[in-house]
Amino acid sequence: MENVKFSGHDTVALAKKYGTPLYVMSEDIIRDRIESVKKAFEEASCDYEINFAGKAFTNVAMCKIVASENIALDAVSVGEMLTAMAAGFPMERVCYHGNNKKSSELKFAVENGVGLIVVDSEDELKKLTQVTAELNKDVKIMFRISPGVEAHTHELIQTGIQDTKFGLPFEQAKDIVVRANQLPHISVVGIHCHIGSQIVDEVPFIAAADKMIGLYQAIRNEGVDLRAINLGGGFGIPYLQGDEYFDTLKYIPKLVQHVKTMCAEKQVPMPKLIVEPGRFLVCEAGATLYTVGTVKTIPGVRKYISVDGGMNDNPRPALYGAEYEAVICNGKATEDMEEVRVSGRACETDTLIDKAVLNHPEVGDILMVRNTGAYNYSMASRYNRFPIPAVVLLSGDCSGIMVERESYQELLSHDRVPDWLK
């Protein structure tokens, strides 16, 4: 039996070369997913922009991939902006996002030529007005709006409902946007919403678009030259076999046609449509490799297998019950399949996969968990003082380090001892 491959590479060989736990990312799959979104918009014949939501997976090499694809980057922190700068990413293609931005962070963005700032609140607008006056620099902004649209997904990843920390309340948005556009150095170019994650068809996006186009019309009628509507991200991917997913070529043209029809009916110009896929571009491009360390059978209860990672490198099952599938990578006959619980090393229950069907797992086996490219590395922690795993990038038949494995010396590097304890 051959070893399991991921993006054309022998997973056991990767584990042996780079160690485990190990994040593996496929550049080929990332580029394919970007192309699928581009192709859908181009077939729909509209002015569009793709912003990669960097929170899903950001490092210098990833920023270089995004830059080479000529798409924009959605950054939510100075750290993400600095990562883009280290990659030589064109800052005019960076959109600075997030709630509760500090004045110092807004100043950093303006000083470094970020192309667009998505303003999340009136308080943030006040901070930005002070920053632009101090620097005597003009900025382009969009306002994030809470459209009150409920996407049918997990409650912790719904972000467009009325009761949310994000964005301007819909009913207040028009007046705030109109006032903002009269401020010195501020140019409001569009409005933004994001309704949630893991959305599998166009229906929630159409509902959000209806509300946003109505607001777009009302604001334009007040003399504000809005030119763009950002409908956010949230395109769903299939974590498990048989899961529904967002088919870009099927659903994006439907969404675009609906927006065109709405704009024609309301006699407003068709805006540039912006989307912010993150998970959709990187999730299926990633896998995590582990080594099985222990196998324990509790008669009449279940079999446990423990791996050398867990909630430290993938907190999503613990955070909101995310489900994954796994496979034993070293070649084995598939007749001897059994249901086991895959557990991690953290001193918690730390269930990585509650019910995994695997072919006779044994100590020393290499286990691959699929679809870990989004919100795994980016949300990794040092709980129990386990170092952050390495990230390897695959491209064609090449493999190379994308992020070095954290050493124990690096883990300790920020520890200090106050004088009275010395």
Contact 310, 383 (CB under 8 A): no
Parallel/antiparallel/unpaired status of strands 272-275 and 228-230: parallel
Q: Collect all residues with Cβ–Cβ distance below 8 Å to 19 and sequence separation of at least 6.
A: 390, 405
Contacts of residue 325, defined as CB under 8 A and 6 or more positions apart, other chains included, come to 239, 240, 241, 353, 356, 369, 370, 371
Return d(Cα 304, Cα 387) in angstroms, integer. 24
| Active-site annotation, residues | 347
φ, ψ for residue 143, nearest 5 deg: -105, 135
